[in-house]
Amino acid sequence: MIENRLIVCLANSWDYDPTSKHHVMRILSRRNKVLWVNYHGTRRPGLSGPDVRAACAALARWARGPQDAAPSIVQTTPLVLPGATRPLLRWLHERMVRTQIRGAVRALDPRGRLPIQVWSFAPDVPFLCGGLNEECFVYYCVDEYREFSDMNAAGIAAAEDELLTRADLVVTTSQALNQTKQRYRPDAVLIPHGVDYDHFARAWRRPPPRPEDLAEIPRPIFGFFGLIRHWIDVQLIAEVASLRPHYSFVLIGECHSDVTALRKLYNVELLGRRPYETLPAYCAAFDAALLPFVRNSMTRNINPIKMYEYLAAGLPVVSTSLPEARPFEGPIVFADTAEDFARACDRVLETHHAETRPSVSAVVENETWASRVADLSAIVTRCAERKALRGAPVKARVGSVPVSPALCASGDVLTAKTCRLPAATAAITMPPRCC
């Protein structure tokens, strides 16, 4: 396992519902210090309610400065120029981000004792490669970002192509993503998503009390949790609910799509966001789960974390045709039209019940985040060793006397108090290419 490092993680907000990056960094933070960078520079926010609220929240986090997020994890939010495309604005954005991250790194490790690794879940930060004198720069690709409808596809493609070239290691999470990225990086590795198995297995091992907001909802209940955005087929759900008026459909999560068609149906409940800690209780109350993704080039590349979570909870799943779900066919039943989807709902109710939950759960028992991080650690360590053998300069931190990457951590406990950005930061030059 990786240890005694300062890991800089570029991702979206720490305060969002747990995703792959949250699970991976929590495990790595047990033996390392983690600087979580709330990076909001990938897309320009619009004037929609969710975008305005997200932008205001990001500004508030920036104003608060570094904050303790979890043991040995500090989150910081750099000021950015999101979606900047004009050369001058882009240069200014890159300079601002580099300067602020370097300042946070210096504040976290004033003596420069910790070798640095950068793990980027953002596709548009090639300008950071080599900028922290890191021993390894990992691009952790979890989506085909250039297919997102709310992003500048051309700008994202150009930035990601450069990042694919410059990163020391490229990690992908689905077969389709891996095949695509191997066109640029033949050495890209595939590490599928994992699951917080014990957390979700509580749904059948020790079923929690039924949530109060489900008390009056008649069974059977088909459940879903996650963001409801353009990749969720709202129309399909509405048609299936109309075909099966005696079934209940419960959707948990923020709505970023037009769900008017669902609100008109008496057997569809939109509960909004619920805390991650409560999801096993909802799973225990569900009879089956849904993966109603639209079918397009974006979803062809996804590997839904919720799929593993549903299965760990012992729930049979009705899904549209997702390539990454095919290995779990059996507990997962596939259908793409409303009529077929409704019949699939009938079928899972006939073949699955409380007694079958342990056997469903067993199919992902070994797909834990701990096992994924162990695999990642071995790969990243080998990558850093190969880079060092090639003679690439590896330093512990920016702005200090270089120290050996083998030097152990000081053992200091990481808190926000040790991460105060300086009042002013020195001018910096463009970093050299790292590979």
Would you tell me how many other CB atoms lie within 10 Å of the CB of residue 362? 14
Do both 235 and 180 map to the same domain?
no
> Would the pLDDT of 53 be above 70?
no
258 falls within a domain: yes
- With tokens 């003596």, the residue in question is 111
Cα(129)–Cα(132) distance, rounded to whole angstroms? 8
Task: Indicate the pTM of the whole model.
Answer: 0.85
Tokens of 211: 């949530």
CB 16 within 8 A of CB 126: no
**More confident position, 117 or 418:** 117
Q: What is the DSSP string of 118-133?
A: EEE--SS-GGGTTTT-
Q: What value does the mean pLDDT of the chain take?
A: 87
Closest residue by Cα to residue 406 from 4, 2, 1: 4
Strands 73-76 vs 67-70: parallel, antiparallel or unpaired:
antiparallel
310, two tokens? 């549903």
Measure Cα distances from 327 to 16, 170, 364, 371 in Å: 29, 24, 11, 19
Residues 394 and 406 in one domain: yes
* CA 8 to chain CA mean position, Å: 15
CA distances from 113 to 6, 103, 403, 420 (A): 9, 15, 7, 18
Q: Are residues 186 and 202 in the same domain?
A: no
Could you count the other beta carbons within 10 Å of the beta carbon of residue 86?
10
Q: Taking 80 as the threshold, does the pLDDT of residue 84 lie above it?
A: no
Rounded Cα gap, residues 145 and 172, in angstroms: 12
Phi, psi of 141 (to 5 degrees): -95, 115
CA-wise closest residue to 134 among 156, 172, 100, 101: 101
Domain-located, residue 428: no
Among candidate residues 393, 402, 408, 422, the one with its CA nearest the CA of residue 135: 393
Of 361 and 80, more confident? 361
Residue 212 included in any domain: yes
Taking each helix axis as running N to C, give the angle between helix 234-243 and helix 338-351, from 0 to 180 degrees, rounded to the nearest 10: 60
Strands 73-76 and 116-120, by their bridges, are unpaired
Tokens of 274: 């619920």
What residue type is assigned to position 201 of the chain?
A: A
Q: Which residues are bridge partners to 140 per DSSP?
A: 171
- Give 66's pLDDT tier (boundaries 50, 70, 90): confident
Is there a single domain that holds both residue 225 and residue 251?
A: yes
Local confidence band at 63 (pLDDT 50, 70, 90 cut-offs) = low
| Residues found in the chain | 435
Does the pLDDT of residue 431 top 90, yes or no?
A: no
Identify the residue whose tokens are 């048609």: 239
pLDDT value for 325: 97
- The answer to whether position 30 is within a domain reads yes
CA torsion, points 406, 407, 411, 415, in degrees to nearest 10?
Answer: -90
Q: Are residues 190 and 293 in the same domain?
A: no
Q: Do 284 and 210 form a contact (C-beta atoms < 8 A)?
A: yes
Read off the pLDDT band of 430 (50, 70, 90). very low
Query: Does residue 418 have a pLDDT over 60?
Result: no
| Nearest residue to 99 (alpha-carbon basis) of 120, 135, 73, 128 | 128
Asked if pLDDT for residue 340 goes beyond 80, the answer is yes
Q: For 291-305, write each residue's pLDDT tens digit.
A: 999 999 899 999 999
Specify whether 388 is located in the same domain as 267.
Answer: no
How many whole angstroms separate alpha carbon 433 and alpha carbon 309? Answer: 40
Residues 138 and 42 in one domain: yes
Q: Please report the DSSP string for 40-67 in residue order.
A: --SS---SSHHHHHHHHHHHHHHHH-SE
Same domain, 58 and 187: yes
**Based on the domain organization, do 173 and 212 belong to the same domain?**
no
Q: What is the pLDDT of residue 67?
A: 81
pLDDT for the residue 40? 77
In a domain, 253, yes or no: yes
Question: Does 427 map to a domain?
Answer: no
Residue 431, in any domain of the structure:
no
Chain segment 175-234, per-residue pLDDT in tens: 999 999 999 999 999 999 999 999 999 999 999 999 999 999 999 999 999 999 999 999
Q: Domain range for residue 325?
A: 197-362
- Counted domains in the chain: 2
Q: What's the N-to-C CA distance of the chain in angstroms?
A: 25
Tokens 């129309």 belong to residue = 235
**Residue 162 and residue 230 share a domain:** no
Considering the domain boundaries, does residue 435 fall inside one? no
Q: Is residue 54 very low, low, confident or very high in pLDDT (cuts 50, 70, 90)?
A: low
Same domain, 353 and 376: no
Q: Tell me the CATH number at 256.
A: 3.40.50.2000
> Is the pLDDT at 44 greater than 80, yes or no?
no
pLDDT tens digits, residue range 167-180?
Answer: 999 999 999 999 99
pLDDT recorded at residue 435: 35
Per residue in 285-305, is it b (16+ CB within 10 Å) or e — as a string?
A: bbbbbbbbbeeeebbbbbbbb
Regarding whether 137 and 221 lie in a shared domain, the answer is no
Question: 4-21 burial string, b = 16+ CB within 10 Å, else e?
Answer: bbbbbbbbbebeebbebb
Higher pLDDT, 433 or 349: 349
374 closest CA partner among 220, 214, 194? 194
Does 143 have pLDDT greater than 60?
yes
